[in-house]
Amino acid sequence: MSDRNQWCFACGSRNPIGLKLTFREEADTYYTTLVPGPEYQGYEGVMHGGLVSTLLDEVMARYLYAKGFNAVTAKLEVRFRQPTPIGQQLTVSGWITGKRGKMYELAGKIILRDGTVTAESKATVVIKGDG
């Protein structure tokens, strides 16, 4: 990751208020885990919906970045299935569902340890340049 990207709110190691997410790929799926603290709360005990969306956007678009593409999200759709809790481990995953030219379709979800899905997403991510 270039030095300028170290300030990314979601994955940058130099951002003092960022999430500092780390990722891994397993069987064509990209993953990150975290336990959100109260600083990421919306309503009491519930993660802010904008940050839920951020997690999903990051795991999907960054998957293409990890594959060597310079990619940006063109469209993001989030389905909030139930509140995403603060203080519990979240597993966020993303995977490619299709490709048309420079546009990739991806899907993602947030899962609790007990298997409960709190949010699902779809995104269209565009490759910049000659990707």
Helix (H, G, I), strand (E, B) or coil at 5: helix
Which amino acid is residue 109, in one-letter code? K
Q: Give the span between the Cα atoms of 41 and 27, in whole angstroms.
A: 32
pTM, two decimal places: 0.91
Angle at 23 between CA 11 and CA 123, to 5 degrees: 80
pLDDT in tens, 14-36: 777 677 888 999 999 999 999 99
* Distance, CA of 78 to CA of 25 (rounded, Å): 22
Alpha carbons 41 and 35: distance in angstroms, whole number: 12
| Sequence spans of domains, the chain | 24-127
pLDDT at 22: 84
- Residue 14: predicted pLDDT: 77
Q: CB atoms < 10 A from the CB of 55, how many? A: 26
**pLDDT the model gives residue 9:** 66
Regions of the chain short of the pLDDT cut 50: 1
CATH number for region 24-127: 3.10.129.10
Token look-up 């997403």 returns 121
Helices (H), 10-127: 49-66
